[in-house]
Structure 1
Amino acid sequence: MWLDRVTTALLLLVGLVNLLPGLVAFAPSQITTAYGVSAEGPGSADLTVLLRHRAVLLGLVGLALLCAAFVPSFHLPAVTAGAISMGSFLLLAYSTPGLHSATMRVARIDTAAIVALAVAALLILRKIA
């Protein structure tokens, strides 16, 4: 029973980590704070749209993980989506030199979140087996 609570807590935590950046979709003024890149000046409209779209996708992954915390049938698709989303970002971030410190902060947060997600996945698999 306590392992179920740990799994739920981990899924909630990772869900929030993914959901919170989704707020950038509704508050584009926070782009500079979140990512350390300027969304001002020539060409910034394109960057703003891309980052807001990223925020929507992160929000969807976050919502899926939050739902999975309470709906066991969502475990596999939500954990898979979270792992692909965070894993691909980490691969891109750690293979790209010269990123801003704010982007690397996001990478460190995602590293901790993907470890938490992996623990949740192991607990889910343990229960299934």
Structure 2
Amino acid sequence: MMIPAKLVAGGLVLAGVISFLPTVGVAGVSWLRSLYGFEIDNPDLEILLRHRAVLFGILGTLLFAAAIRPGLRDTAALVAGASMASFIAIALVVGGYGPSIRKVVIADIVGLLALAPAALARLGPGRTLG
């Protein structure tokens, strides 16, 4: 099956937006609180969550770059897919999460669906249409 390159690029951009959104958490506790819906009253937790925000910025940037540089697409889709799938799996295993984490789970499901064209293009015999 031939997957149009514009569909692959569009999916990578959508996944990039989803991944990049938490980057605002780098700005501080108030942003983290608005993102995750709970109090961050421990410097250790703040450090971990702000670093997580940086990592999502890196991942989002990789996905944006992959949308315009086909040579990065396989790596970007694999890394982003692993990140999103692992968050969903951890949330399901732990359970009992609140509405803020539910929103992240839903966003990651949408992100995985957005990455599907890149995965299908990689697996398909014809790769992408130019």
TM-score by length of 2: 0.88
- Return the offset for 1:119: 2.7
| Secondary structure of the corresponding residue to residue 38 of structure 2 | coil
CA distance in 1, matches of 2:65, 2:123: 18
The Cα of 1:57 is off from its aligned counterpart by: 1.0
In structure 1, the residue matched to 2:118 is 120
Greater RCO, CA 8 A, separation 6+: 2
- Structure 1 distance, partners of 2:14, 2:40, is 29
Instruction: Report the alpha carbon displacement of residue 25 of structure 1 after superposing the two structures with TM.
Output: 1.2
Aligned counterpart, 2:51? 53
Which residue of structure 2 aligns with residue 90 of structure 1? 88
Q: Which runs of 5+ in 1 are unaligned?
A: none
Question: How far off its partner does 1:2 sit?
Answer: 8.2
Q: How does 1:11-90 map to 2 (within 5 A)?
A: 11-40=12-41, 44-90=42-88
Identity of aligned residues (%): 33
The one-letter code matched in structure 2 to 1:108 is: I
Which amino acid in structure 2 is aligned with residue 61 of structure 1?
L
Moved more, 70-79 or 117-126: 117-126
Unmatched segments (≥5 aa) in structure 2: none
Q: Distance in 2 between matches of 1:77 and 1:122?
A: 14
Count of equivalent residues: 126
2:73, 2:118 within 8 Å by CA — same for their partners in 1? no
> Could you tell me whether the CA contact under 8 Å between 2:3 and 2:121 is conserved in 1?
no
Contact 2:19 2:57 (C-alpha < 8 Å) held by counterparts: yes
Per the TM alignment, residue 124 of structure 1 is displaced from its structure 2 partner at its CA by: 4.0
Q: Tell me what 2:9 maps to.
A: 8
8 A Cα contact 1:93 1:107, kept in partner: yes
Q: CA deviation at 1:120?
A: 2.6
Could you tell me the TM-score, scaled by structure 1's length? Answer: 0.88
SS in 2 for 1:11: helix
Contact map agreement 2:3 2:117 (CA 8 A) in 1? no
Match of 1:103 in 2: 101
